[in-house]
Amino acid sequence: MTELLLTLAEARVLACLVEKSIATPQYYPMTVNAIMLAANQKNSRNPITHFNEGEVGAALTRLEQEHLVARDDHAGRVPKWRQRMQNQLLLKPASVAVLATLMLRGPQTAAELRTHAQGLGGPGDAEELAAAIADLEDRAQPLLLLLLLPRAPGQSAARYAQLLCGAAQAQSAAARIEASASSSETPARSSIAELEARVQALEARLAEIEQRLTQS
- List the CATH number of the domain containing 119: 1.10.10.10
Same domain? For 86 and 105 the reply is no
Rounded Cα distance between 212 and 171, Å, is 61
Same domain? For 136 and 186 the reply is yes
Same domain? For 61 and 99 the reply is no
Same domain? For 170 and 189 the reply is yes
Mean pLDDT, rounded, of the chain: 87
Same domain? For 56 and 96 the reply is no
Same domain? For 74 and 121 the reply is no
Q: What is the pLDDT of residue 76?
A: 74
Task: Tell me the residue range of the domain where 188 lies.
Answer: 92-216
Same domain? For 101 and 203 the reply is yes
Same domain? For 75 and 97 the reply is no
pLDDT tens-digit series, residues 47-98 = 999 999 999 999 999 999 999 999 998 867 889 999 999 999 999 999 999 9
Same domain? For 100 and 74 the reply is no
Same domain? For 98 and 200 the reply is yes
- Label residue 187 by pLDDT band (50, 70, 90): low
> Model-level pTM greater than 0.85?
no
Domain boundary among 90, 110, 142: 90
Indicate whether 207 pLDDT > 90. no
Same domain? For 104 and 191 the reply is yes
SS3 annotation, the chain: CCCCCCCHHHHHHHHHHHHHHHHCHHHCCECHHHHHHHHCCCCCCCCCCCCCHHHHHHHHHHHHHCCCEEEECCCCCCCEEEECHHHHHCCCHHHHHHHHHHHHHCCECHHHHHHHHHHHCCCCCHHHHHHHHHHHHCCCCCCCCEEECCCCCCCCCCCEEECCCCHHHHHHHHHHHHHHHHHHHHHHHHHHHHHHHHHHHHHHHHHHHHHHHHHC
In the beta sheet, which residues pair with residue 162?
Answer: 146
Domain boundary among 68, 90, 112: 90
Q: How many CB atoms lie within 10 A of CB 74?
A: 6
Same domain? For 115 and 60 the reply is no
Number of domains, the chain: 2
Domain boundary among 33, 61, 90: 90
Q: Which long-range contacts (CB under 8 A, 24 or more apart) does 27-32 make?
A: 28/82, 29/72, 29/75, 29/80, 29/81, 29/82, 30/80, 30/81, 31/78, 31/79, 31/80, 31/81, 32/56, 32/57, 32/60, 32/79, 32/81
